[in-house]
A and B are shown apart, each in its own frame.
Chain A
């Protein structure tokens, strides 16, 4: 059983009561909501005659359903308009802050909470969205919940939870140029499987993790859930504190800031920490990674070939065969050179400023291949403004990419951005499930934003290292 890990310490601090069923009532420090998974929760609250216990601990934005071309109201899609109107009414009724379109603070929920300084080390963070694990990058215990649980947090600022085991993912070495946090996490999932993390929180630690920027840590923790781990986190350190300092909701400078840093520092897993399990990786051995199949675990290095059935463990063969059929790929074929139709840069995984910089470095001075639809969707209004201030939008436009308004866009196709028919996309998002990007037969290849840019330029899956001799592997932030 784990002991003295950050997970154990934060769990104990937030323990409210032991429940008769055997689970623990856990206090939730930060509750994030959006338009898709909250309306039924507010309705249930009304049915129960309950109110929101801590409206100041819930923060809302709109991201999944917003168009990325014109965001003028009312939306062309009446269902999308009704969802946003419902969120607006619920927030107004209950005194909840909503960072709406045009506020300067709207964006994908997992992009805006960190950039506003809402997400802090040592918090418990819940949101009706599985990629809530993103916030673990700060040393928070953050996890996705369903709508009934959104209702519970609204009503009680707490949840009935069962404690997870803790697996340390220890990463030695250094990511090579052209290899990013996205490649690292795709490699981890490829190795441990899409259900390897079920029942575990993943602690990402080791020399290769310590040098990652906060945005890279967010990419890593974001996809913990794709490996089955509901929670992924990094220990807070000087990088974390430097990112937070001065952000709108961070503790104010002076004594409060010093108290905060002292408290945060004490939560990190120390040398005495005990883990339920540990797996080691060598960052230097990881290549730019691309998924070829229909789960995020079906990934290979860009220099590898689609695995054959003989190379696939027996229990994974039915899924591999289904993936060959769906993706229309031949076992043993190289993934590099596979033609793509659509290139999407964005999402809560890879829609932050450093992601756009890495992609722009590839696009700079080049042009999207003929017939390719390529577009860039900043993760938030703040990301868009920062990118425009340094001219990234102009770089992308000159290279033939569309520059869009912030939102979840084609990650999940609850908005007008979607694949059509059997189109195949190079996507910086997080899921390559059948039908995920809006067409029941559409196909998705997951990769880093720089790799998506390279695919757009060449019109096919391309090793980004061929285009950029030394791509920035740890781009600076802010």
Chain B
């Protein structure tokens, strides 16, 4: 089963099951070392559920840019594929960052590189963080800027991203050529996403005997008693 999101006004459902192929419009965010304090400023972390986080996504950057931030531009409303540059998501471990992106509508992130904890937090939500070369990242970001209505297809299984100048409603967005670029993803997360095993709590809990066996060889669990 493929998880296919569309670009209609209704928000795409949160990821569930295998994440093989995602389709939607792109939104490009240019810049290296964009940290999780920028993705979701700390004041939005004062909550006991993730429900209302969409409005906090890039809140301070959006205020500063007064409507010019990609997340505020009308042509990017409803976009589901975020394209970024180097070391995206560095800093705080706050899962509120991918939660805010997901609740804004993002279902996949393509970038030059990702901070480790952010990558893992996205994976736990079924949001692939796919690596692309710096040159291809820039190419893709420019194409999205020139053709914001163009449809992106992220083939998670085959690790390709395609940009089709034809829009989701069938009209031609531009005369530009389509793009077909390679992506990278480590084998483990790739298998987890494609197989739908990215939400592994039940798997961990099921290993009861193995957990007991490991615990039994750790002397600190019993205060180093004889």
Contact = CB atoms under 8 A, between A and B. Distances in A.
Interface stretch (B6-14, B156-164, B205-213): B205-213
Contacts of B66: none
B211 A433 contact: no
Interface string A259-294: 110010000000000000000000000000000000
Interface residues of A, number: 85
B117 A145 contact: yes
Contact of A20 (B38, B197, B223): B197
Contacts of B32: 315-316, 318-319
Interface string B202-226: 1111010011011101111101111
A251 B221 CA distance: 10
Contacts of A159: 204
Contact of A434 (B45, B60, B224): B60
A25 B113 contact: no
Most-contacted residue by chain A among B46, B49, B63, B189 (CB, 10 A): B46
Given A147-B95, A198-B113, A259-B226, A82 B48 contact: yes
B90 A195 contact: yes
A198 B87 contact: yes
A75 to B, nearest CB: 11
A474 interface: no
Most-contacted residue by chain B among A120, A252, A433 (CB, 10 A): A433
Nearest to A35: B48
B197 A17 contact: no
A23 B93 contact: no
A17 B210 contact: yes
B186 interface: yes
Given A79-B47, A260-B220, A433 B91 contact: yes
A27 B214 contact: yes
A468 interface: no
A50 B203 CA distance: 13
Interface residues of B, number: 68
Given A21-B192, A40-B50, A194 B120 contact: no
B74 interface: no
Nearest to B200: A160
Interface stretch (A122-130, A232-240, A445-453): A122-130
Interface string B80-97: 000000110011111110
B91 A431 contact: yes
Interface in A12-41: 13-17, 19-23, 25, 27, 29, 36-37, 39-40
A22 B187 contact: yes
Interface string B6-41: 000000000000000000000000011101011001
B124 interface: yes
A431 B121 CA distance: 20
Most-contacted residue by chain B among A57, A79, A156 (CB, 10 A): A156
A130 B211 CA distance: 25
Given A43-B49, A144-B93, A198-B116, A319 B225 contact: no
Interface string A144-161: 111111011001111110
B117 A435 contact: no
A198 to B, nearest CB: 6
B73 interface: no
A412 B41 CA distance: 9
A385 interface: no
A27 B37 contact: no
B35 A433 contact: yes
18 contacts: A13-B217, A14-B218, A20-B195, A36-B94, A40-B49, A43-B49, A48-B201, A65-B46, A77-B46, A79-B46, A129-B93, A162-B188, A228-B87, A230-B117, A255-B226, A263-B220, A295-B33, A413-B42
Interface of B: 31-33, 35, 37-38, 41-43, 45-50, 60-61, 63-64, 86-87, 90-96, 98, 113, 115-117, 120-121, 124-125, 186-189, 191-192, 195, 197-205, 207, 210-211, 213-215, 217-221, 223-226
Interface of A: 13-17, 19-23, 25, 27, 29, 36-37, 39-40, 43, 48, 50, 53, 57, 64-65, 77, 79-80, 82-83, 86, 120, 122-123, 128-130, 132, 143-149, 151-152, 155-160, 162, 194-195, 198-199, 225, 228, 230, 251-252, 255-257, 259-260, 263, 295, 315-316, 318-319, 322, 412-414, 431, 433-436, 438, 440-441
Given A16-B210, A19-B200, A412-B92, 6 more contacts: A15-B214, A27-B218, A144-B93, A160-B203, A194-B33, A440-B41
